[in-house]
């Protein structure tokens, strides 16, 4: 039986928050696949100083004691290991773009979407424009820079143009709240998206995986929101911090989020829209999209999240499990779509 040498690309070139988020998912991925003899995992850990570490594990102690090295030495260490492919686990923008491009230059294949697609999808206004041109419904909106004045009347949702996990997102119901919401959003990005508020029916997420070149729509995940006191999701719906300072996932408890019955009438409509988004953005291997469903049942594209950590707790593996695919099967499908690499 052949064993694949997989390098997990973990950490962040931007912030300790993204380092912790990346570490959280990567640890879960490694733990879930630890008993498999198909894979041999290695870890490259990047910190905000742009230095690289190659710890024996993702414990804080092992990361702290691993010697930091510059990019030139890191490349030499990586190439010496004869890595078969890379599993990107970085959630910051450089991690989703620049560091993936590095492995294109090194001619080492990696699972997931290429840097140009990641960059487009990470900018919410650009992603909206692309999928709208393909025929998917999107909320009306405008992109603001510091000093710009919004022209859309409330209610609106204000969000940083390229931030994740609902950081800086605010629902503005009255005009006098605009300035505070804009100030909050600009703390996370240089551009801010102001969107018309879509009256709530439901809010769901749809995952797509590629199998033998065909797009498969996965069961939807629905979020706990309501029009009375919780009309939009916020960062606390997704992540919280323990007393020890470790991040943990709050949306995996079947209370804040749950898998929708595939027979639900919303499934087919949303999956069809998600497949259009996947093709329009030029995705490969897998994709993930958030939709707001209005009271009339029409889905409206909100944003794309084009990464998968292959942790059992991450969204695509959770959806795939509900469809009857194991985590190992989902990873093997992605590897096969990458370069036909499947351990025998």
Strand (E) or helix (H) holding 160: strand 156-160
CA nearest 303: which of 187, 195, 184?
A: 195
Write down the CATH number for the domain with range 4-111: 3.40.50.20
Q: Where are the domains of the chain?
A: 4-111, 119-136+200-306, 141-196
Tokens coding 89: 């686990």
The three-class DSSP label of residue 247 is strand
Classified by CATH at the fold level, domain 141-196 comes out as Dna Ligase; domain 1 (3.30.1490)
Does the domain at 119-136+200-306 match CATH 3.90.190.20? Answer given as no
Residue 155: cis peptide before it, omega within 30 degrees of 0: yes
Considering Cα of 152, then 153, then 159, then 165, what sign does the dihedral take?
A: negative
pLDDT tens sequence for the chain (344 residues): 478 999 999 999 999 999 999 999 999 999 999 888 889 999 999 999 999 999 999 999 999 999 999 999 999 999 999 999 999 999 999 999 999 999 999 999 999 999 999 999 999 999 999 999 999 999 999 999 999 999 999 999 999 998 876 788 999 998 788 999 999 999 999 999 999 999 988 999 999 999 998 999 999 999 987 766 677 766 555 544 555 555 555 555 556 789 999 999 999 999 999 999 999 999 999 999 999 999 999 999 999 999 999 999 899 999 999 999 999 999 999 999 997 755 43
């Amino acid at each position: 039986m052949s064993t694949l040498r997989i390098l997990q690309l973990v950490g962040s070139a931007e912030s300790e928050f993204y380092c912790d988020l990346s570490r959280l998912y990567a640890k879960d991925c490694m733990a879930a696949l630890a008993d498999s003899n198909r894979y041999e995992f290695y870890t490259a850990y990047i910190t905000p100083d742009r230095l690289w570490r190659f710890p024996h594990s993702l414990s804080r102690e092992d990361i702290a004691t691993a010697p930091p090295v510059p990019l030139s030495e890191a490349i030499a260490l990586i190439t010496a290991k004869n890595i078969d492919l890379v599993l990107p686990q970085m959630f910051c923008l450089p991690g989703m773009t620049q560091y993936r491009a590095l492995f294109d230059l090194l001619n080492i294949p990696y699972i997931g979407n290429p840097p140009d697609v990641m960059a487009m999808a990470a900018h919410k206004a650009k992603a909206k424009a692309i999928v709208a041109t393909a025929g998917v419904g999107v909320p009306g909106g405008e992109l603001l820079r510091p000093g710009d004045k919004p022209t859309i009347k409330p209610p609106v949702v204000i969000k940083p143009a390229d931030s994740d996990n609902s950081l800086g997102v605010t629902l503005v119901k009255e005009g006098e709240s605009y300035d505070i919401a804009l100030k909050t959003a600009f703390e996370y990005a240089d551009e801010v998206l102001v969107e018309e508020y879509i009256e709530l029916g439901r809010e769901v997420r749809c995952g797509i995986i590629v199998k033998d070149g065909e797009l498969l729509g996965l069961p939807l995940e629905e979020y706990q929101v309501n029009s009375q006191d919780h009309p939009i999701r916020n960062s606390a719906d997704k992540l919280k911090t323990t007393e020890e300072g470790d991040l943990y996932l709050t949306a995996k408890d079947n209370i804040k989020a749950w898998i929708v019955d595939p027979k639900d009438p919303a499934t087919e409509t949303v999956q069809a829209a998600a497949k259009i988004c996947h093709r329009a953005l030029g995705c490969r291997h897998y994709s993930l999209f958030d939709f707001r469903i209005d009271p009339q049942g029409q889905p409206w594209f909100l944003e794309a999240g084009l990464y998968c950590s292959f942790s059992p707790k991450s969204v695509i593996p959770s959806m795939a499990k509900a469809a009857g695919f194991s985590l190992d099967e989902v990873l093997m499908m992605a590897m096969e779509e990458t370069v036909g690499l499947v351990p025998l």
